[in-house]
C-alpha cells in the first residue's frame, strides 16, 4: 500500500490547474524528469516519513544568494514546493544537511552544526560561541569549526562532519556531544586537503571527498586507501554504488556510467528507487534511472503513485487527473482516490467519460491514466483547496501492506513471524484504500467515521479501531494471527534465550521502515510497540 498527495487550488472558472513536468527524454542511462531554478543551491537529502511512506527532497539554498539567508526548502518528488524551513534565528553560510529516522534535521554552517525538529523547531547548536541566536565563531578545538561543510549520519547513529578548513572529520552524537576527530592537513595518504563531503558505504567504510581524492577510512577513522579517479562530492545509491564527479561508480570508485549533463560539482542524493537528485549550478533536478546497464535488484517493489497533471476543463466543473503507478515488478495495480477539502473528506463518486472503471479494479502500471471527476456533483462549495490522495495496492504476496516474514528455528518448532510490527498507519492506509475503492463507506452524511463489513473501522477523527485492525488481518487470508507477547519476546531473543542478541544493520542499505537493529535472524529487536503477525 502506498499513497501520494497532490495539492492544488480549485476555482470553478475557465482556468488551467496543472502540475506539469518538463519533457522526459533519455540521456544514456538517465532522463531528466524535472528541474527548478534555485538561487545558490547546496546540500540535498531525501527523507521518507515512516508514518506516511511519503518521500520528499530537502535542499539547502541561500535566499537572494546571501550568506545570512540560508534556509531549507522541502519539495515533493514531482518538484512541487511544500514549505521553507528557517534555520534558527541567525545563520551564516549554511552548506549541507542530513536527517535521521525521526525526521530531525542536522545542518552544517560556517562555524557550527545546528539541529532542528522536522517542523523547524530549534533543538541545539554546537560550535565555538554558538547558540540559537549566534552562529558562532571560527575555532580549531574539539567541537569547533572552520567551515563545517558536510554532514552524514553513520551506521552507529553518530554525526560525521567534514570540517573543511581544519582539514579533518569530527564525530558527534545526535545530541551534539563531541566524540572524536581524525584527519590532518596534507597531501600524503591518510591526510586531507579541504574535505568537502562524506558518506558511509553499506560495508561500513567511510568515504571522505577532498580537493584531490576520495579517501577511504574505517569507522574508527583509520585510513584504508584513496583514489584520484574522483573527488569532492559523493553520494550513495541504494544498490551500494556511488555518484561522484558526473559518474556513477562502484563502491571502489571505478566508473560504471557517465552523465555529463549533471553539474560536475553538484551535491547529490538518491531516492530508494535509484533516482538521482542533483543540487548545483542554480538548479534542483531529478534524474530518473533507465537501468540499461547496472541497476537495482527489484524484489517485490512497493508501487509508487505519481500525479502527472491536473487540469480543469474550461467552462465546466470537471477535473482531469492524470496519474501513473510506477511499479517495476507488477504489471497491474488497483487504485482508489480520496479528496480532502479543508475539513471535508470526499470519496469522488461522479466520475465521467467512463473513467469510473479505473477505480477499484486492476489497471496497467507504468503508463499514464486519466480519471475525470465532476466535482460539483460531490462537493457543493464553489472554491477552495483540494488535496488528492491516491492509494494503491499491487500484486505483492503479503498484501495489502509491505509485510516480510522470517522463520526462526527453535528446539520446540519453527516460528514464522513478521520481521517488524504493523503500525496504526498501516491499518489507516488500508482502510482508506477500502473506502476509496468503494468497499467501505462513511457511516452517514453527518459522521466521517468509516464502516466496513458492518463494523466501525475508523472514527470520525480517523483513529483506528480494533475492528479496523481485524479487517487488515483478515485481508491476508487464512493462516494468519496476531503474535502473543511471549512469541515476540522469544523472537527477539532468538538463539540466545534470556538476552536480546542484536546487531546494527550497517552492512545493508536500510530502505523505508526496515529496523536499524536486528538479531541474527533479521528480526526487529529495536521496535517495541505495534502488532506482529504470525503465519501458521
Q: How far is CA 527 from the centre of its chain?
A: 19
pLDDT at 2: 52
Taking the domains of the chain in order of start, what are their residue ranges? 51-182, 304-393, 405-535
pLDDT at 15: 24
Alpha helix locations (H) across 240-378? 375-378
Distances (CA, A) of 470 to 151, 193, 409: 44, 59, 28
Mean pLDDT highest for which of 110-119, 244-253, 438-447?
Answer: 110-119
Stretch 265-276: mean pLDDT, rounded?
92
3-state secondary structure of 360: coil
Above 80 in pLDDT, residue 197? Answer: yes
Above 90 in pLDDT, residue 430? Answer: no
Distance of alpha carbon 94 from alpha carbon 88, whole angstroms: 11
pLDDT at 387: 85
pLDDT at 159: 97
Above 80 in pLDDT, residue 7? Answer: no
Asked which of 155-159, 272-276, 519-523, 525-529 is least confident by mean pLDDT, the reply is 519-523
Mean pLDDT highest for which of 143-152, 428-437, 468-477, 511-520?
Answer: 143-152
Cβ atoms of residues 188 and 210 within 8 Å: no
In the block, cell 579533518 appears at 168
Q: What is the mean pLDDT of the chain?
A: 85
Stretch 280-300: mean pLDDT, rounded?
63
What CATH fold (topology level) applies to the domain 51-182?
A: Neuraminidase (2.120.10)
Stretch 285-302: mean pLDDT, rounded?
55
pLDDT at 6: 45
3-state secondary structure of 99: strand
Question: Residue 215: which pLDDT band, with cuts at 50, 70 and 90?
Answer: very high
pLDDT at 514: 60
Asked which of 13-22, 52-61, 417-426 is least confident by mean pLDDT, the reply is 13-22
* Identical topology for domains 51-182 and 304-393: no
Question: Residue 396: which pLDDT band, with cuts at 50, 70 and 90?
Answer: low
For helices 424-436 and 466-475, the axis angle rounded to 10 degrees is 70
pLDDT at 402: 72
Question: Residue 289: which pLDDT band, with cuts at 50, 70 and 90?
Answer: low
Of 259 and 190, which is predicted with more confidence?
A: 190
Question: In residues, how long is the chain?
Answer: 536
Report whether CATH 2.40.50 matches the domain 304-393: no
Amino acid at each position: 500500500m502506498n499513497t501520494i498527495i497532490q495539492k492544488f487550488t480549485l476555482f470553478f472558472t475557465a482556468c488551467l490547474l496543472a502540475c506539469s513536468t518538463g519533457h522526459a527524454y533519455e540521456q544514456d542511462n538517465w532522463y531528466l524528469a524535472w528541474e527548478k531554478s534555485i538561487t545558490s543551491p547546496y546540500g540535498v537529502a531525501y527523507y521518507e516519513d515512516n508514518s506516511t511512506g511519503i518521500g520528499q527532497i530537502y535542499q539547502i539554498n541561500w535566499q537572494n544568494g546571501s550568506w545570512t539567508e540560508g534556509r531549507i526548502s522541502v519539495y515533493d518528488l514531482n518538484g512541487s514546493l511544500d514549505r521553507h524551513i528557517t534555520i534558527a534565528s541567525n545563520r551564516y553560510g549554511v552548506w549541507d544537511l542530513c536527517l535521521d529516522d525521526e525526521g530531525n534535521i542536522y545542518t552544517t554552517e560556517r562555524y557550527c552544526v545546528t539541529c532542528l525538529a522536522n517542523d523547524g523547531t530549534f533543538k541545539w547548536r554546537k560550535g565555538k560561541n554558538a547558540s540559537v541566536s549566534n552562529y558562532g565563531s571560527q575555532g580549531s578545538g574539539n567541537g569547533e569549526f572552520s567551515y563545517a561543510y558536510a554532514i552524514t549520519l553513520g551506521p552507529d547513529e553518530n554525526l560525521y562532519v567534514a570540517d573543511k578548513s581544519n582539514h579533518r572529520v569530527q564525530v558527534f552524537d545526535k545530541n551534539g556531544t563531541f566524540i572524536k576527530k581524525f584527519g590532518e592537513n596534507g597531501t600524503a595518504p591518510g591526510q586531507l586537503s579541504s574535505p568537502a563531503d562524506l558518506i558511509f558505504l553499506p560495508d561500513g567504510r567511510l568515504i571522505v571527498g577532498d580537493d584531490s581524492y576520495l579517501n577511504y577510512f574505517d569507522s574508527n577513522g583509520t585510513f584504508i586507501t584513496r583514489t584520484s579517479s574522483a573527488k569532492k562530492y559523493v553520494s550513495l545509491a541504494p544498490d551500494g554504488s556511488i555518484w561522484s564527479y558526473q559518474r556513477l561508480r562502484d563502491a571502489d570508485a571505478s566508473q560504471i556510467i557517465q552523465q555529463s549533463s549533471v553539474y560536475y560539482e553538484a551535491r547529490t542524493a538518491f531516492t530508494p528507487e535509484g533516482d538521482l537528485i542533483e543540487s548545483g549550478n542554480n538548479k534542483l533536478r531529478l534524474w530518473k534511472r533507465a537501468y540499461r546497464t547496472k541497476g537495482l535488484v527489484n524484489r517485490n517493489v512497493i508501487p509508487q503513485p505519481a500525479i502527472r497533471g491536473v487540469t480543469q476543463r474550461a467552462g465546466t466543473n470537471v477535473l482531469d487527473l492524470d496519474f501513473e503507478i510506477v511499479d517495476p515488478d507488477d504489471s497491474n495495480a488497483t487504485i482508489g482516490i480520496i479528496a480532502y477539502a479543508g475539513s471535508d473528506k470526499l470519496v469522488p463518486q461522479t466520475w465521467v467519460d467512463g473513467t469510473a472503471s479505473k477505480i477499484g479494479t486492476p489497471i496497467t502500471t507504468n503508463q499514464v491514466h486519466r480519471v475525470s471527476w465532476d466535482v460539483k456533483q460531490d462537493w457543493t462549495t464553489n472554491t477552495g483547496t483540494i488535496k488528492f490522495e491516491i492509494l494503491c495496492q499491487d500484486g505483492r504476496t503479503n498484501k495489502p501492506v509491505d509485510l516480510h516474514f522470517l522463520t526462526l528455528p527453535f528446539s520446540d518448532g519453527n516460528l514464522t513471524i513478521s520481521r517488524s510490527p504493523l503500525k496504526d498507519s498501516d491499518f489507516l492506509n488500508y482502510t482508506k484504500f477500502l473506502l476509496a475503492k468503494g468497499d467501505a463507506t462513511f457511516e452517514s452524511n453527518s459522521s466521517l467515521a468509516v464502516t466496513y463489513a458492518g463494523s466501525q473501522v475508523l472514527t470520525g477523527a480517523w483513529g483506528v479501531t480494533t475492528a479496523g485492525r481485524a479487517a487488515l488481518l483478515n485481508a491476508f487470508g487464512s493462516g494468519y494471527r496476531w503474535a502473543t507477547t511471549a512469541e515476540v519476546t522469544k523472537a527477539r531473543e532468538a538463539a540466545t534465550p534470556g538476552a536480546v542478541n542484536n546487531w546494527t544493520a550497517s552492512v545493508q542499505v536500510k530502505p523505508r521502515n526496515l529496523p536499524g537493529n536486528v538479531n541474527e535472524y533479521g528480526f526487529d529487536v529495536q521496535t517495541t510497540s505495534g502488532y506482529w503477525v504470525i503465519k501458521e
